[in-house]
Amino acid sequence: MMQNTLHILLLNQWAMPLGLLIGLFVFILGAVAGSFAGVVVTRLPLSLLAHAHDVQSSDPNVLGSYTTPTLAYPRSHCWHCSTQLRVIHTIPLISYLLLKGECSYCKKPIGFSLFAIELLSALWWTFCFLQYGLSGAFLVFSVYGSALLCLAFIDGQTQLLPDAITQPLLWAGLITSSIGVGNLSLNLSLFGAVLGYCVLWIISRAYLIIKGEVGLGDGDIKLVAAIGAWIGPFALIALILIASLSGILAALILRFKEKMNPGDYIPFGPFLVASALLIQALLSPNYYHLLIGKLGGF
């Protein structure tokens, strides 16, 4: 009895610091995942463009002195002066702050987006840890968030949404539901993916017929299908509404501030990703029970 009470007292005493320590570890893990996502954001579009246009042989200037980059090659270097980075320059979050956002060799700016993706990824992983604890769901939804961030930044910078990420994301959503992680059944997950693809396909073709120009890329359609597999058909309607309205609002603000001309294209991916993360957060256990559970076990 005495020993049990002592055990509980010790547990209570250590639970808080231990939780904080694990939380900090998760934050760092999220930043490292964000750092990897940053590598993908920088290199995957270059690699795709190189394959698409075969620039290796025809126009080496497009990729500087390097051949097609892969995720591992060439080693981390400054994209301005090509100097290889030292280990201290590759620590997620900290390096950017220490270097004050510029290359330590040539003093040219390092993209703020790399810092942003590391920070957002770290915050998302910490949020998932607070929602799911250390579990399979935590890992699955954390990686899902980092992959979505990757897509948002790639689309924002290059207006590409690579199949190399959207396709595995769709399969991962279906597999996640099939093994019972999260709130979705496999049927709803499948229905979400199909509905997402069909709704966006109809909107994009209608836009093409009415306006005579491409309003939505195929990448957007595949991304919505992938997100549909993760959130199901009901939340998908909310996703499309929130993403569209926030996209239109952003376009209006940019037009008002004269930073966007009529006919300019604003990438839809970042708005889809922001809405998907918001909805995924609301579907996580604490909020899900708060929002839906009280309405009668929807």
Instruction: List the helix and strand counts (H, then E) for the chain.
Output: 10, 0
Residues composing the chain:
298
**Least Cβ distance, residue 108 to Zn ion (angstroms):** 5
- Write the CB contacts of 283 (distance below 8 Å, at least 6 apart in sequence): 182, 183, 231, 235
Determine the Cα–Cα distance for residues 160 and 119; give it in Å rounded to an integer.
22
* 26/110 Cα distance (integer angstroms): 25
**Which one, 105 or 207, has the nearer CB to Zn ion?**
105
Q: Nearest approach, Cβ of 105 to Zn ion (angstroms)?
A: 4
Q: 181, 205 in Cβ contact below 8 A?
A: no
Which of 95/126 has CB closer to Zn ion?
A: 95
Rounded to the nearest whole angstrom, what is the least distance from the CB of residue 176 to Zn ion in the complex?
41
What are residue 225's phi and psi, to 5 degrees?
Answer: -60, -45
First to last CA, the chain: 43
Judged by beta carbon, residue 110 or residue 152, the one nearer Zn ion is: 110
Q: How far is CA 178 from the centre of its chain?
A: 22
Name the minimum Å distance from CB 107 to Zn ion.
Answer: 7
Nearer to Zn ion, 89 or 222 (CB): 89
Closest CB to Zn ion among residues 43, 80: 80
101 vs 136 by CB, closer to Zn ion: 101
Give the nearest distance from C-beta 100 to Zn ion in angstroms.
14
- Interface positions with Zn ion (CB under 5 A): 78, 80-81, 103, 105-106
Residue 261 DSSP symbol: -
Residue type, 277: L
How near is the Cβ of 102 to Zn ion at its closest, in Å?
Answer: 8
